[in-house]
Amino acid sequence: MKNPMLEVVSLLLEKLLLISNFTFFSSGAAGEDKGRNSLYETSSFHRGDVLEVPRTHLTHYGIYLGDNRVAHMMPDILLALTDDKGRTQKVVSNKRLILGVIVKVASIRVDTVEDFAYGANILVNHLDQSLQKKALLNEEVARRAEKLLGLTPYSLLWNNCEHFVTYCRYGTPISPQSDKRKVPVLPQELTIPLQKNKSDSDDAGDRRQVHKRASHCEILEWKASISQTFQLALVSIRSM
């Protein structure tokens, strides 16, 4: 069941962006190309490395594939509007990204290091230390990334760029930065004890608990999505 509040906020945000001279099929507003022409020294990068760059209110991740190419997950509203690869393959602007987050559509795509980093400093394999996890062989990491190229559902909490790279690098999709946005749930709220000879009323109660927890997760994602998209919208509009 759709959340009416989410629909209203999404509509308001879309109108706000439209008023700010946003067009769905533009390649980017003036000033959005700044920093993309910066040259990066890629000779120290190895195929399968995790590249990490700071973005507005979050960190963006990708897998280096070699030859100045990076595979990364990017939300993009155009993916829901057109199959024209000439348009969708252009660098994703902030406005396209914001609306892509709202409609939860993304792709795992390949961009140059310059377009991926967008002028920011790049950290290499920093997750190995911060997560203290043993990485797979670099070639296996790169192959996992290449197999996942294409359209994918997007979720700030459950399926973002960090989930993508941690799956490729360590075999398990995790996202510490999105975990910080989740509200802890008490252990007894996570499981339903299995009991024999349960009555119909008990089963109905269990179903209500499952539905309640699912609704709770939806609310958490809704809050995180709205917070993130409004923050990105304000930054994007101020930069116009």
Catalytic residues: 60, 72, 161
User: Cβ distance 228 to 157 under 8 Å?
Assistant: no
Find the Cα–Cα–Cα–Cα dihedral 37, 128, 156, 61, rounded to 10°: 10
Report how far apart, in Å, the C-alpha atoms of 102 and of each of 44, 95, 110, 153 are: 36, 11, 22, 11
Angle (nearest 5°) at CA 55 between 98 and 44? 130
Query: Looking at the DSSP assignment, which residues form a beta bridge with residue 110?
Result: 71
Q: Cα(229)–Cα(192) distance, rounded to whole angstroms?
A: 34
User: Cβ distance 76 to 97 under 8 Å?
Assistant: yes
Please choose, from the candidates 161, 180, 99, 169, the residue with its C-alpha nearest in 3D space to the C-alpha of residue 136: 169
Amino acid identity, residue 111? D
Q: Cα(197)–Cα(173) distance, rounded to whole angstroms?
A: 38
Angle (nearest 5°) at CA 150 between 146 and 155? 105
Q: What is the 3-state secondary structure (H, E, C) of 175-232?
A: CHHHHCCCCCCCHHHHCCCCCCCCCHHHHHHHHHHHHHHHHHHHHHHHHHHHHHHHHH
